[in-house]
Homo-oligomer: A and B are copies of this chain.
């Protein structure tokens, strides 16, 4: 460790200024100097010290990202997309997980700020408890929220229109003939959870179908399984269940089938996200697709525009998701063919 530009300069018999210029190419040097410096650097195995460079330049070439959990395939997909997007511009990513805990989240944001990231992309784990950390960070550094967001709309955001998404799902199952529906999602601690629930309720009310009390837990396979079991225990299955995400939907389909219910013949299920295993599950899951690549691209584009403590009003970019119909829901034709009797 520790070959510096001084060592290179000495070995090449030039000043540090010349060495720096030869290496960076930001000012002309004679070919001879360039050559000697290049050789010396190669021989010594010189590599710039990014820490020193960052201090001098007041920029680290790094952006921080904080997501609730990297165990969730939705977040890993979006992280990968952001990373891919960023690599074009040569900046790299410091990735942190808040583990769905606002306190951990605040700490992580703090260390990222201390490390002087050039920007921050965050998916705040809690719509309320995350507010101070997000607002405080936004004051110090360009920040954009991705997917989840805090309440109040004070910070820039890129994501999907959650309400429009579940509306699509609800309208779809109703078009499939469902007369009673239920929502299986997460307790409304995040914006996504809250908006998907409210969107469901609004859309279902508008359609005038029977609405069972929502099943609210976590965005996990386990909770999906549990929700399925509760539905089974209640004796009377609804015609359709709209899920807060794909994990819940997959867990739910599985426990429903284990309990003897047929999907989609007895009950339609639709998920949300369409990342990871939705296509691989059995049967392939109908779901609402989040355009992750597009969201990531939009987020880094926006991040390039926002400034710390930006006085202009925060932007909120809501991308409208698409419904992807696979095999856990049925279109009317085939559904009526199969001789349902719940109507």
Contacts and interface: CB of A to CB of B under 8 A. Distances in A.
B114 A48 contact: yes
Interface in A130-149: 140-141
Contacts of A94: 94-95
B70 A1 contact: no
Contacts of A308: 1
Interface stretch (A77-85, A166-174, A260-268): A77-85
Contacts of A250: 280
Nearest to A84: B99
A111 interface: yes
A116 interface: yes
Interface residues of A, number: 45
A282 B79 CA distance: 29
A246 to B, nearest CB: 12
Contact of A80 (B50, B71, B79, B257): B71
Contacts of A113: 47
A80 B95 CA distance: 12
Given A51-B116, A114-B49, A140 B79 contact: no
A276 B97 CA distance: 17
Interface in A284-304: none
A47 B114 contact: yes
Contacts of A73: 71
A109 to B, nearest CB: 11
A111 B221 contact: no
A254 interface: yes
A70 B76 contact: yes
A80 B51 contact: no
A111 B50 contact: yes
A251 interface: yes
A280 B225 CA distance: 9
B111 A83 contact: no
A110 interface: yes
A92 interface: yes
A187 interface: no
Contacts of A54: 51
A52 interface: yes
A51 B115 contact: yes
A60 interface: yes
Nearest to A48: B114
A251 B280 contact: yes
A1 B49 contact: no
Given A50-B116, A250-B280, 18 more contacts: A1-B141, A47-B110, A49-B114, A49-B116, A51-B54, A51-B55, A51-B60, A51-B115, A70-B70, A70-B79, A71-B73, A71-B76, A71-B80, A93-B96, A222-B280, A254-B282, A257-B282, A258-B282
5 contacts: A47-B110, A49-B114, A50-B111, A92-B96, A92-B111
